[in-house]
Amino acid sequence: MRLVLSIAVVVGMVALCIVGWPYGGAGGLIGGALGFLVRLGGRRLDWKERLGTAYIGALMGLPVGFMVGGFITMGLPYILTQINAPQ
Protein backbone atom coordinates (compact mmCIF):
# COMPACT_ATOMS: atom_id res chain seq x y z
CA MET A 1 0.00 0.00 0.00
CA ARG A 2 2.85 2.34 0.78
CA LEU A 3 4.42 1.71 -2.63
CA VAL A 4 1.13 2.42 -4.39
CA LEU A 5 0.74 5.73 -2.56
CA SER A 6 4.34 6.71 -3.33
CA ILE A 7 3.86 6.01 -7.01
CA ALA A 8 0.53 7.88 -6.98
CA VAL A 9 2.22 10.95 -5.56
CA VAL A 10 4.72 11.13 -8.40
CA VAL A 11 2.14 10.36 -11.08
CA GLY A 12 -0.18 13.00 -9.65
CA MET A 13 2.51 15.66 -9.59
CA VAL A 14 3.59 14.86 -13.15
CA ALA A 15 -0.06 15.00 -14.25
CA LEU A 16 -0.42 18.37 -12.50
CA CYS A 17 2.63 19.66 -14.36
CA ILE A 18 1.21 18.46 -17.69
CA VAL A 19 -2.20 20.01 -17.02
CA GLY A 20 -0.56 23.22 -15.83
CA TRP A 21 1.83 23.37 -18.79
CA PRO A 22 0.82 26.93 -19.81
CA TYR A 23 1.31 28.08 -16.22
CA GLY A 24 4.84 26.77 -15.66
CA GLY A 25 4.44 23.01 -15.86
CA ALA A 26 7.61 22.71 -17.92
CA GLY A 27 9.52 24.12 -14.97
CA GLY A 28 8.04 21.41 -12.77
CA LEU A 29 9.19 18.64 -15.06
CA ILE A 30 12.63 20.19 -15.43
CA GLY A 31 12.88 20.64 -11.67
CA GLY A 32 11.89 17.02 -11.10
CA ALA A 33 14.48 15.78 -13.57
CA LEU A 34 17.20 17.97 -12.07
CA GLY A 35 16.28 16.88 -8.55
CA PHE A 36 16.49 13.25 -9.62
CA LEU A 37 19.87 13.67 -11.31
CA VAL A 38 21.42 15.72 -8.53
CA ARG A 39 20.44 13.17 -5.88
CA LEU A 40 21.35 10.11 -7.98
CA GLY A 41 25.02 10.31 -7.01
CA GLY A 42 24.23 9.75 -3.36
CA ARG A 43 26.92 8.67 -0.95
CA ARG A 44 28.26 5.90 -3.18
CA LEU A 45 26.25 3.22 -1.39
CA ASP A 46 24.07 0.54 -2.93
CA TRP A 47 21.72 1.34 -5.81
CA LYS A 48 18.57 0.90 -3.75
CA GLU A 49 19.56 3.79 -1.54
CA ARG A 50 20.67 5.88 -4.51
CA LEU A 51 17.36 5.39 -6.29
CA GLY A 52 15.43 6.13 -3.11
CA THR A 53 17.35 9.34 -2.61
CA ALA A 54 16.88 10.27 -6.28
CA TYR A 55 13.14 9.64 -5.93
CA ILE A 56 12.99 12.04 -3.00
CA GLY A 57 14.98 14.57 -5.04
CA ALA A 58 12.42 14.34 -7.82
CA LEU A 59 9.59 14.77 -5.32
CA MET A 60 11.24 17.94 -4.01
CA GLY A 61 12.11 19.25 -7.47
CA LEU A 62 8.67 18.91 -9.05
CA PRO A 63 6.77 21.45 -6.93
CA VAL A 64 9.70 23.83 -6.59
CA GLY A 65 10.23 23.81 -10.36
CA PHE A 66 6.51 24.29 -10.88
CA MET A 67 6.53 27.37 -8.66
CA VAL A 68 9.63 28.83 -10.32
CA GLY A 69 8.22 28.10 -13.78
CA GLY A 70 4.92 29.69 -12.80
CA PHE A 71 6.71 32.79 -11.58
CA ILE A 72 8.72 33.06 -14.79
CA THR A 73 5.65 32.43 -16.96
CA MET A 74 3.07 34.52 -15.15
CA GLY A 75 4.58 36.63 -12.40
CA LEU A 76 7.60 38.09 -14.10
CA PRO A 77 5.75 39.52 -17.15
CA TYR A 78 3.19 41.13 -14.84
CA ILE A 79 5.90 42.72 -12.70
CA LEU A 80 7.75 43.97 -15.78
CA THR A 81 4.60 45.53 -17.25
CA GLN A 82 3.93 47.28 -13.94
CA ILE A 83 7.48 48.62 -13.81
CA ASN A 84 7.41 49.83 -17.42
CA ALA A 85 3.86 51.23 -17.33
CA PRO A 86 3.58 54.94 -18.02
CA GLN A 87 2.38 57.02 -15.12
Domains identified in the chain, total number: 1
Q: What is the mean pLDDT of residues 51-71?
A: 92
In a domain, 73, yes or no: yes
In a domain, 18, yes or no: no
In a domain, 72, yes or no: yes
In a domain, 38, yes or no: yes
Q: CA–CA separation, 30 vs 65, rounded Å?
A: 7
Average pLDDT, the chain: 90
Q: What is the mean pLDDT of residues 5-24?
A: 92
Residue 45 pLDDT > 80: no
Report in angstroms the alpha-carbon separations of 42 from 13, 30, 48, 58, 69. 23, 20, 11, 13, 26
The whole domain housing 38 covers 26-82
In a domain, 21, yes or no: no
Q: In the structure, what pLDDT confidence band is assigned to residue 47 with cuts at 50, 70 and 90?
A: confident
